[in-house]
Amino acid sequence: MIRMVIIQVLISIFLFVNSLMIFTFFKKAAFFTNTRYIFFAHTLLCDSIFLALTDALLVMSYSRAPMTGGLCIFLVIILESLSVATSLTLTAMSLERYVAICMPLRHSELSTPMRAIYSILLIQALSSVIWIIMISILFSAVSLRFYTNPLICSLEQMIVFAWQGHLSSALYQLYFLVMSLVIAFTYVKIMVAARAASSERKTSTNKGLRTVILHGFQLLLCLIQFWCPLIESTVMKINMNMFIELRYFDYICFILAPRCLCPLVYGLRDKDFMVVLKYYALFGCSKIVFVFNMDKTNPKWRKKITAVR
């Protein structure tokens, strides 16, 4: 019960912060024209839905409340797709920083809001591929009774063959390999640009480099999350108490932790976004005047935005 209370408190805090940031994004039209903030808002939405659904499943599992197999399949597909979508969005955000820092003259041409929307649609499509394959295997293996029978919903219920779990793990690791190569490429390119940058651009370049490093760390935590079900299923066969301890640890470290890093990486570290966030967090009690940089490497995009009450 104490652990459940701790988890509920943590999730409530994360959902409140994420909701406030999403509200801030939609309240300022200037954020809609910046690819970086569009990707950020998409990540917040994915993480918020993911946290809310995983918490609901956790509470149901703790209280031993069953649901039908068909509903469980639907929820698991959404959860796993959102998990992969977050990782792919982090990769897209790293690419956006690479274009902004290493190709500043073409950034306004390549990084447009419409292309960001197309990228998000592509991310959602790619994140669904793994679970379309997994559910196709499940449909061919179970009877119609499975969809109406009550069960305690979990990822393990979707794995009917041992090789199915291995195939899922292999696909996740393939995705992770591609994403890791992309982030490593952007890191090397930004690092080279940082060394060659003038003193005026060095600050923004170094900040972009730190952002890519943080994305890489988030991606590593997401990869470990993909491995967790295989490790947990092995431990469950050996010792049930150890399985319960391991699942609690994995949930805190590899599910909650990566989701709280995204607001820190882009929300709280971004001065422009933070100014507007403080304004709405304080219910508009003070006037704010700030300079919003559509692209800090391209002076012609500097815009002044004033919010007055």
More confident residue, 210 or 31: 31
pLDDT at site 123: 93
pLDDT band for position 58 (cuts 50, 70, 90): confident
Q: Is the pLDDT of residue 115 over 50?
A: yes
pLDDT of residue 122: 94
Angstrom distance (rounded) from CA 272 to CA 137: 47
In this structure, which CATH number among 1.50.10.100, 3.90.25.10, 1.20.1070.10, 3.30.830.10 belongs to the domain 2-283? Answer: 1.20.1070.10
Return the pLDDT at 116: 92
Confidence class of residue 292 from pLDDT cuts 50, 70 and 90? very low
Helix (H, G, I), strand (E, B) or coil at 273: helix
Q: What is the pLDDT of residue 176?
A: 83
Is 89 within 8 Å of 218 (Cβ atoms)? no
Q: Rounded mean pLDDT of the chain?
A: 79
| 240 or 67, which is more confident | 67
Q: Residue 60: is its pLDDT beyond 60?
A: yes
Domain boundaries, the chain: 2-283
Is the separation of the CB atoms in 75 and 61 below 8 Å? no
Q: Quick one: CA dihedral 100, 26, 10, 68, positive or negative?
A: negative
The answer to whether the CB of 86 falls within 8 A of the CB of 118 is no
What are the tens digits of pLDDT across the range 116-144?
Answer: 999 999 999 998 888 888 888 888 888 88
CA distance 273 to 277: 6
CA distances, 134 to each of 124, 146, 234, 295 (Å): 16, 16, 20, 41
